[in-house]
Copies of this chain bind each other. A is one copy, B any other.
Amino acid sequence: VSTHLAVVLREPPVGELTPESFEVVDRPTPEPGPGEVLVEVSELSLDPYLRATLVGRHLGDAAVPVGGTVPGRAVARVVRSQADQLTEGTWVLAETGWQERAVVRAETAKVVTVPDGIPRSAVLGALGMPGLTAYAALRRHVQPAPGDTVVVSSATGGVGAVAGQLARIAGARTVAIVGDEQKQETALSVLGYDEAVIRGRDGWEEQLAAACPARIHGYVHMGDAPTLGVVAEMLAIGARVSLVGIQDSYGDGPRTMLRAGAVMSARASVHGMVVFDHLDLEREQTTRIGRFLQEGRMVLHEDRTTGLASAPEAFVRLMAGRNQGKVVVEVS
């Protein structure tokens, strides 16, 4: 019997996770049954929503029990097929979980197609769910117009990097809110933001205000409660806010509160974003972002680690906001 590595939960996922919250185990590789395929994971996607999934707070997903494989999406290659529609060697996007090999139902695996010259891992980021999240947040909520000032928090992360670049392409002045100097540098020199402010530093509120002389017309929120509070007081008349990620929804921290009077004085609109409400935009997203990537108007920004065993530490870095771009684990 052949075996493969998998990452399982070592303890109940309470509070802040550490690499020791997880465990790498060896397990027998199952055979695919009728309608199933065995896939070999190439690149595993780590995303913030997984934190909520672990405790059963993401959509309808059940909580992950101790000893259960951590869920996750990956680019993988079919190595054995019991399904007519997927031949061996086909590249797919599938819910494999954090493991080297997985059996999945063929109809839940999606054949990976990327434009010429674009790496396959783009389907985990700009051409996948993070990209769709950013695309829908801008298209449906923020609706940037040329000359608008659009602020993005977690501005260099998987969603933020796409949102900021899309807002720039739409003609907006873009301002990044980031967590450290390295990200500030990335925001400015890689992702093309006009300004980048490090949140929490002395004087950062004044820096943000100075970076937004016409106030803030659009805001993509994936930050902490204080960041939302600061931005809310700088909204321009008619501002649009997309709540894409709220830190306290992942863990057990203080609740993020928004001052209703700030929304009212700005005659702002604040929208809750859950990407699964916007799957109808997927074709539009992949067509447009694919073209922007090919034309070099947008870049992929990935934080890559090597080996399945690196996943726990990479995930902990992601949840602490210490990742540099879309987190991808190279598994094989």
Contacts and interface: CB of A to CB of B under 8 A. Distances in A.
A303 B268 CA distance: 32
Interface stretch (A122-130, A156-164, A243-251, A311-319): A243-251
A273 B264 contact: yes
A258 B255 contact: no
B246 A260 contact: yes
A228 B225 CA distance: 19
A111 interface: no
Interface string A223-252: 001001000000000100001001011000
Chain A: interface size category: 20 to 34
A305 interface: no
A259 B228 CA distance: 11
A266 to B, nearest CB: 6
B267 A274 contact: yes
Contacts of A277: 238, 267
A182 B277 CA distance: 42
A108 interface: no
Interface string A246-283: 10110000011111110111111111111001000000
Given A257-B260, A263-B271, 12 more contacts: A246-B264, A256-B260, A256-B261, A258-B260, A258-B263, A264-B272, A264-B273, A265-B272, A267-B271, A267-B273, A268-B271, A269-B272
A274 to B, nearest CB: 5
B263 A270 contact: yes
A281 to B, nearest CB: 14
Nearest to A267: B272
A248 B264 CA distance: 12
Interface of A: 221, 225, 228, 238, 243, 246, 248-249, 255-261, 263-274, 277
A61 to B, nearest CB: 14
A225 B261 CA distance: 11
B259 A264 contact: no
9 contacts: A248-B261, A255-B259, A255-B260, A256-B260, A257-B260, A264-B272, A266-B272, A267-B273, A270-B270
B272 A249 contact: no
Contacts of A249: 261, 264-265
A266 B269 CA distance: 15
B261 A259 contact: no
Contacts of A261: 246, 248-249, 255-256
Nearest to A238: B277
A264 B58 CA distance: 12
